[in-house]
Structure 1
């Protein structure tokens, strides 16, 4: 008996079993027919044929595995058998369905292809639009390189925000931290009279920082949805808006700020954008592209002595030449937002121990000299790349990045072991220090400052010239770091 005869016999057995048992139950008949088919197949094909061809005389374990695998696979056709049996009286309709099935698949495929083509077209248009925007960026860079007057560059950028980025209104603002006010320096989308009104009613710097909360952050920019905060009407401009009734639609009182950040990571101002022509709120990608252009605004500001003076006065404590309190907060916040948790950072908070006594005994002019002497000592003790700021009054802060504990010890020792005296003053100048570490003591800037401040408080309350670590509240005397 050849292989073809074997298969004919196997299918015959399955057909006979199903034919005589179908009247009882189709599913049971199908299971018995499949079982009979697989048993016959295993005996006639897998065993007898292999014995005849290869001369094997033992029923190998492999046959059991093959039988079980094929049997389970064959049982998977039972749902199809049931469907065919149920629809046996509508055979023509079923035949028509199976005939149309390929056509349905082709229609679905064509629909998917059309959708894919449309998506690719949208992506291509986005890339084209981005390319055009970055061409504009090179134009701005050329204007900066050719030392074009800053006012013209800023006006050009503001107009570009409305023309190329699709916003009806753009307003560029610079922070005057010394006087706690925002300066409107360029605009586009409304008339000069409205701009003058906005200049007159410019918000305070502190009020703008209050709006810029982490919950509203989008990349480095800030999107504040309508109703989330209260903004004074006189500080804003209400113009024309594209109305849309869908998710993600821009609302009249939505706020979008793109920050102006200098090379130290300190925010020196912002660009306010309003009323997108497409009626949609910005995406993270929109914000990131705008942030690249915002860096060109900073480059333009560097060319202006007038604006540079405002920036300098906004960032620097004029008495000591150190960064001021606001600059410190902004720098630390930006630094920790993007910092890897495996890269340690130390925050030192220093307080002069006896400035009040010196002021009372020798006068405030001598007290000012004492402050400058301590600043000289701090600056000479730290590295050039370390950030030093006046926190306020007789308090100072130092940010030490990428330092080992030994380097920290060396810097603190240099500060505390320095001989700080003033001519005509008997008392030695000393400082107490509170130390907090990122990420050990805190992950957020405000918490890290709070930890360093608590450590400083403990140091001050345990005598002069002490060091306290926020991690374990251990106190060290001057010269006893270890």
Structure 2
């Protein structure tokens, strides 16, 4: 469900703005059309000159408004400026209108509070800046913390501009030459501001890049440690730590990890970062099919192996998605929108999608670049390396177990043992396999080996590892010894009937959550007993 407070904020701003204009005690609209038209033209031009300052823009509308306040009333500004913002804004027009209206209305109220003419324009600017600060505080307190210096500097530059123009009121008589010199000085001041903003933006960009690089370096070491550390007791907690670290590296505030449960044909939410707990529980309980999710993995959205779906490109079901409230967006090209969707697929060794990670709320406020997409793909690979060691690997591992290395299989078994109430481990050995291979040929021996694989591959609750053509290790999580013996007995009958051979199987049962190697040693002892007894039997210890 999309949570959006913009409607209330817009309504609040407009109502407060109207109330402030009413408190001003007068509403005089300028009828000097030369200055009104000149002001409108100047504002339109200034909207084209907005300079980017990190993920924000330095707007010239207040600086352009300041000298015109000598000729038109602030009430005129409070009508014209919001309308121009509405017309020129690329998105969120009503929101931008309400922000501008509140700024100019508070500025007008402060303008009329000043008893001295010299202070009227500075008071107008002060009121407008306070309203701007209020809106920034409402939308993102974190952003204010990040941009204290540029914000303070910007406010000071605008306020100093108002003081320059207010010098007009110092003179008892205004003559043409001093007035034009004042305006000329102000124009030079605007050029200085443009130069300052551009140079400051370069410095700010370099600082952001350095911070980003340091953040990546520091957190990459943490990520590697989290992924490859052995003896993990709480896999869910570790997954959330890995996801949180990945967000820090990639520069996102939130992420959601999901896997595909192919048996039940649904999406399973397994970890989150930066998402409220109650929202995560709701997402976990939502019934989302794999087929409906794969719609988002269309080739037209793919770039560098990552899928980015821009806002309003495709419909997204409300009950299976979440949009953060107080979402700060920006009014320029390539800015991130609340309904943008960024999906990073989790791929197995066969390049099949076994799940995905959805990232949201980029710290930069921008849609991802090519390099950032490449970084996200690398992060998903690290996450998959850890997922292979967790019980969640059951969603895909039964079909692709042969692609695991033995150490990975061991880690997987340990995780399954710890998360199972009871478990059975078995070792299978095909009797006289070398003789069969010699007498009937390697092709026939390979047929026997493949029969074993095919038989157990059909069961998604049984996991196996092929040591050699004649030796297999089997893990039966949440299974009793009797149930396992019955299943292996049926298998024994099937393979004997098919090939006329015998097998020796040693198995052990455990409900005390011993380690994989403890179970393996006991199963080997059982297999030795079966072999010494002549083979062709199942022994249990």
TM-score, normalised to structure 2's length?
0.36
Q: Which has the higher helix share?
A: 2
TM-score, normalised to structure 1's length?
0.40
Structure having the higher Rg: 1
